[in-house]
Structure formats: structure tokens, C-alpha cells
Amino acid sequence: MAMAIDEAFEVDFSCYSTSTTTTTTTDDDPGCTWNDWGSPVVDWASLSSERDEFQDLIESMMDDGMGFELARVENETSNSVSVSVSTDTMAVDDETNSGDSKGLRLVHLLMAAAEALTGATKSRELARVILVRLKELVSPNDGTNMERLAAYFTEALQGLLEGSGGGHSKHLITNGTHHHRDKHHQSDMLAAFQLLQDMSPYVKFGHFTANQAILEAVTHDRRIHIVDYDIMEGIQWASLMQALVSRKDGPPTPHLRITAVSRGNNGWRSIGTIQETGRRLVAFAASIGQPFSFHQYKLDSNETFRPSAVKLVRGEALIINCMLHSPHFSHRTPGSVASFLAGAKTLNPRLVTLVEEEVGPIGDGEFMGRFMDSLHHYSAMFDSLEAGFPMQCRARALVERIILGPRIAGSLNQIYRSRNEDESGPWSEFLSTVGFKPVNISFGNHCQAKLLLGLFNDGYRVEELANNRLVLGWNSRRLLSASIWTSPPDSDL
């Protein structure tokens, strides 16, 4: 009997038993007749294909709307933003059908993530999961424009999710690793900035339009004083100086004085410090024989502009220059800009030159609307770069990585932080409110802009949206607005 019992237990191993353990993991026990599987491993290929087919089926049924027995109802509520997206307003790649549908899918996912982050029924968990999914689908380094754009937007949203919208986004997409924004190599930044200027009119459009207006406004002046809100590398002034020294007629080269407004904190990205910019400009001016002096105006930490602290000289033509479009522009807070422009009014400048990003229709100004607008904006920028330089993928990738990616993150940050605040309109409106008067953009200036665009791809266009306002656009998307203003006549010095 004992023998039988032993055997019984040996045989019994494989079954569930209260008395012994199972040893199904060791199939090679020779004593176990119950255990001799020779079991074929489950054919996963056959199983998994059925699963994926099902998901594909859902996808295709949704895309086609065929066989899908639900009636599509027009829904105006903010919950169904996905339904109201119309592809013709999106600058989506017009590649093959699948490219389109992937692009649309990415847009839907981005919107869903943005919605989950900020919508009525917020869910950080859902946003996180959607972003994980997005990251599987896109990479900043390859794929179509839409895919790379989506990668940067995903990263930007990720930053919002993690930072809860506070402060600068610290995460950048740089070949899969994360860098703090300040750690970009200077040489990389220089290269990227140079490339952007070579590949597109974005930088030069603003500078040239402003400079032309300045030149026209100071034809007989002997002293020019420019207060520059955000001088960055100062390249705008190099070309102005060049224009000043090569004036054929009129008085000898006027003296140029530049006061660069600077911030105490070093949170801004630029290639080098403001002192370096000053030194460079001084050296350049000397080399071309331009009388020049450089001053710095340091703002305090809350960036309140005190006009009285600006040193003015009798007889000089005062120009206020406000470039808010620099590609590597660290978004200034609205308060800072407002303080500057309002303060500038009290100085009664001869001219105010303003360049800013043109914002499209944003619905009720809620986050989602502005998010979508931002998507359109940068989509157009990506497209414009590609259209002009389709073969220079690496160059474009560098520009996207160093300049556009961080700019996207900054934009979204700004939009997110101000999402519950009252919507402020474009700065040109602010200038008008503050009391500045428009100055006509000359025919020459307009022509110059067209000539500049002519150096680049056909898709760029310039529109005169107001007497004093030129707008640079790509295809149907307006991107940059340059406007010229002056102090009202009865407040002359």
C-alpha cells in the first residue's frame, strides 16, 4: 500500500493537491506520467494577430465612418473638440493618405492630452497615459513634419504635467536625452540661429521692417538713441549701422546710441551676455566707422521699467524697439512688456517698432483654443522650413531642436500659466490703447519685405493688414506682425 501511495503522490504532482506541491515547472520528472506534456507552446502569433486586427478594425471603422452605425452628430460642447477639427485649416503634410490620417490621429491625441490636462474633467492620470502613447508614436528625430512637431508638443505637455504649469519647462528633447535649456552648447545655438536666418525670413523680416522704418524716420537727425527691449545678439543693429554708414545723401553718419534693457536674472537664453553683445557691437561699429555708444539698463527683478532711469540727450531721436519674436526668445511676462511699452510712452519717442507673433482666432481664449492655435502656428513654421529646404534634414532638425522645441515649450507654458486670466490682445492693440499713433509703412518698406521673401520659398507672403502693420505668413497662416508707431503730435519735446 505504501508503494501505491508513493506512486500516487508522484503521479499526483501535476494536479492541484492539498498535500503536495505541483511541479509543473519541472516537466522533466520521469516518474510523472501525468506530467508528460510535450506541450506545444501557445502560438502567440495567431492569438496576437487577432487582437491587433481588432484594434485596426476599430481604427479603420472610425476613420471611414463606414459600417459604424452611430450617426455623427455635430456637437458644440468643448468635450468633443476632436469632432470639430477640420483638416483644411491644419497645415498637415499632404503626403499619402496614411500620412494624413496619422497626422490627424496625432492631433487628436494631442488635443485629448491637452483637454485632460486642463479641461472641465481634468485627469492628470489620463493625460499622462495619453502622453505615453504619443511618445510611442513620434520622435523628434524622424518622421514627417507632423510627427516631429507632435513630439515637441508632447514634450511640452509633459513639462506642463510634471511642473504643474509652474516655471520654465526643464525638459528638452535633445536626441532622447534631457538637457536643461541653458546647457545647450553655444556653438549649437549659434549654428541653429544662423541656420534659421539662412533658411527663413523670420528673423530678418522683423529686423528689416523695423530698421527701414527707423531709417526713414531719422533721415536728418544727427543723433539717434534706440532703447531696445530685448537686444539678444544685437544683429538687428549691425544691419542698421551698415545702412547708416552707406547712406548716399543726407548728413554725415549720425551718432548711434543704444540702450539695451537687461534682466537681472539669467534665465534667458542667448548666445552670450548682454555685455558681450555690447562689446561686439562696439567693435563692429568701429570697424565700419559708425559713431556708436552702448549702454545697459538693468531691470529689477519684477521688471518694472522706469523711464526716468533712461539717460536722454537733447536733440536725439528716440526710438523704442520691441522685438518679441526672436526665435530663441524667452517669453517675457506680459507685465514686463506692458511696463516697458507704457513707460516708453512717457518718453515721447519718435518711433516705436514692434514685432510680435501673430495669433490666430482662439475662440473664447480658453487653453484649448490657444493650444490649437499654437499647433497651427508651429506646424506652419515646420512646413515652411521643410518647403524651403527639403533635403537639409539635419539642419532643420537642429533648428527644431535648439530653437523651435524650446519655443514651443515656452509658448505652452505661457498659455497654461495664463489660462485662467483675462485674455490680453496683441501688443499692437496695447500700443494703440496707451496712446501711440500708427505710422504708415512706406511703399519702399513693403517692397523690401517682398524682396526679402522672394529670396525664400514661394509659400511666404506679406500682407499689409493695416497702414502701419505688415504681416509675414506662410500659406494661409499668419506668423509675424511688424507695426510702426509714433507719439501723438501734441506731446512733442
Please give the residues from 33 up to 92 whose contact with other proteins meets the rule CB under 8 A: 33-34, 37-44, 46-48, 50-51, 54-55, 58-59, 61-62, 67-75, 79-80, 82-83
Query: What's the min distance (Å) between Cβ of 167 and other proteins?
Result: 15
* 171/181 Cα distance (integer angstroms): 8
Query: What's the min distance (Å) between Cβ of 5 and other proteins?
Result: 7
Nearer Cβ to other proteins (41/391): 41
* 188/185 Cα distance (integer angstroms): 5
Query: What's the min distance (Å) between Cβ of 58 and other proteins?
Result: 5
321: three-class secondary structure by DSSP: strand
Q: Are 442 and 216 in contact (CB under 8 A)?
A: yes
Torsion of CA 465, 87, 383, 137, to 10 degrees: 150
* 150/140 Cα distance (integer angstroms): 8
Choosing from 118, 144, 145, 158, the residue that interacts with other proteins (CB under 8 A) is 158
17 is an interface residue for other proteins by CB under 8 A: yes
* 89/95 Cα distance (integer angstroms): 16
112 is an interface residue for other proteins by CB under 8 A: yes
Choosing from 78, 101, 108, 197, the residue that interacts with other proteins (CB under 8 A) is 108
Nearer Cβ to other proteins (117/274): 117
432: three-class secondary structure by DSSP: helix
* 267/302 Cα distance (integer angstroms): 13
Q: What φ, ψ does residue 157 adopt, rounded to 5°?
A: -65, -40
Choose one: 21-29, 180-188, 287-295, 302-310; the region binding other proteins (CB under 8 A).
Answer: 21-29
Query: What's the min distance (Å) between Cβ of 149 and other proteins?
Result: 18
Residues 455-474 that bind other proteins (CB under 8 A): none
Query: What's the min distance (Å) between Cβ of 7 and other proteins?
Result: 6
295: nearest Cα among 312, 270, 278: 278
Query: What's the min distance (Å) between Cβ of 393 and other proteins?
Result: 24
141 is an interface residue for other proteins by CB under 8 A: no
Residues in Cβ contact with 245 at an 8 Å cutoff, skipping those fewer than 6 apart: 253, 288, 289, 290
Give the per-residue contact string, 116-135, with other proteins (x = CB under 8 A; - = no). -------xxxx-xxx-xx-x
Query: What's the min distance (Å) between Cβ of 330 and other proteins?
Result: 23
Crossing angle, helix 443-454 and helix 202-217, to 10 degrees?
160
Nearer Cβ to other proteins (123/467): 123
